[in-house]
Amino acid sequence: MRCPRGTTPWSAKLGSILRCGATLACLLVALPAHATSRGPEPVALRYSAPEGCPTADAFRELVRHRGSHTVLADESERIVDVKIETTSAHARATVVLPSDDGSVDMRAVDGPDCSSVTDAAALLVALYLDAQTGSLDAPPEERPSVSHPQPAPHAERPPGTVVRRSRWRVAGELGMHAAIASGLAPTIAYGEWLFLGILVRPAPQALPLLSPSLRLGVSTMRSDRFDQGAHARLHAVQLAFCPIAIPLSTVALRPCALGSAGGYSISAASTTRSGEVDRPWRTWGAGARAEWTTPLSDAVRIELEIDAIAPIVRDRFYRDTTAIHHTPRTLVSGAIGIAVRWP
């Protein structure tokens, strides 16, 4: 049987239609795959921190442990900038996050030390990376209902929320001050103070200036420049309590309350006889201490202290019938030294 001229068998037409439909289906499948194959633009990290803080590699690990599914690239046009700054009693992390429209979003996290603000900055970067890849928008996993009561769900935190840990940290202190004082003798007396102490650093959400420091030590002062050939010695146990720390760049300023108890003695000798007089020594006073964080380590500090001390008991000292010294109403002392904290 023959078909009229100019016509095509219906089976050939059907085959052409099927082939065209298959080709179109392949194109429809390939186009979305090609459009999404590029993926999100990579993000690089620019990180800076002082000595003693986590390194850049350690910060990347912190970001990964915070649940981020995105690996920070070595180089990219999109850069997350993280800068850590510390003082003797305060730390700050500044995080700059790039946006799709070319602008930047700057976040700052304050805390008592380098470790706490670095953890918070890592969480902030992890949330940002997950928001960029869309992993935070994934639908929740469906779970079968159970008959027993379920705990109340936690409120979801929006991207960029910084979670700060609520805890107090206690550090030990060990140090020495070289001191001079007026009023213990007719001229300047000199000596030293050896001490042990504890420092309490609160959580960031507590009062930012609250950082109590308690020190207990032994002080020794001496002076050999008396008239009438006498010299003086002071041995005392000294207590210093500084409730707050005021951060000023790399220096922290602490107002302190002081107290001491011990013994004060003046001795004199001549060609015919010698003698020594001992008196109890009890004082109270106030002072100001400046702590400077050294570039060597965040745990080592250079300190400068100025104190005003009022003796509770005032004595007069005589040689024969001549007064050689009497305790003044107020003594002024100054000291410079070093302190080491751990951990």
Give the integer Cα–Cα distance in Å for 72 and 59. Answer: 11
Read off the DSSP letter of residue 67: T
Give the integer Cα–Cα distance in Å for 130 and 67. Answer: 9
172-197 residue pLDDT tens: 999 999 999 988 887 889 999 999 99
Report whether 321 contacts 167 (CB < 8 A): no
Residue 26 has, within 13 A of its CA and on its CB side, a CA count of: 6
* C-alpha distance from residue 69 to each of 62, 78, 163, 267, 270 (Å): 12, 17, 19, 77, 86
- Give the pTM: 0.57
DSSP string, 174-240: EEEEEEEEESSSSS-EEEEEEEEEEEEE--TTS-TTEEEEEEEEEEEEEE---GGGEEEEEEEEEEE
Residue 168 main-chain phi, psi, to 5 deg = -105, 140
Nearest by Cα to 307 from 331, 290, 328 = 331
Conformation bin of residue 160: beta by default, left when phi > 0, alpha when psi is -120 to 50: left
Instruction: Identify the three-state secondary structure at position 321.
Output: coil
Match domain 43-135 to its CATH number in 3.50.50.60, 3.40.50.300, 3.40.50.360, 3.30.160.100: 3.30.160.100
How far is Cα of residue 281 from the mean position of the Cα atoms in its chain?
Answer: 39
Nearest by Cα to 60 from 50, 87, 49 = 49
Domain 169-342 in CATH 1.10.390.10? The answer is: no
Beta 91-98 vs 230-244: how paired, if at all?
A: unpaired
Residue type, 195: F
Residue 313 main-chain phi, psi, to 5 deg = -115, 125
Report whether 51 contacts 85 (CB < 8 A): no
Beta 104-111 vs 331-342: how paired, if at all?
A: unpaired
Break the chain into its structural domains and give their ranges: 43-135, 169-342
74-102 residue pLDDT tens: 788 888 999 999 887 788 999 999 887 77
Q: Could you tell me the two tokens for 83?
A: 């800068």
Q: Do 169-342 and 43-135 fall under one CATH topology?
A: no
The pLDDT tens digits along the chain (343 residues) read: 444 444 455 555 656 665 655 555 554 444 444 444 455 678 888 999 998 899 989 998 888 888 666 677 778 888 899 999 988 778 899 999 988 777 888 899 988 888 889 999 999 888 888 887 764 444 445 544 444 455 555 445 555 444 455 467 899 999 999 999 988 887 889 999 999 999 997 765 556 688 899 999 999 999 877 666 778 899 999 999 999 999 887 799 999 999 999 999 888 776 566 778 888 999 999 999 999 988 878 789 999 999 999 999 777 766 666 666 778 889 999 999 999 998 8
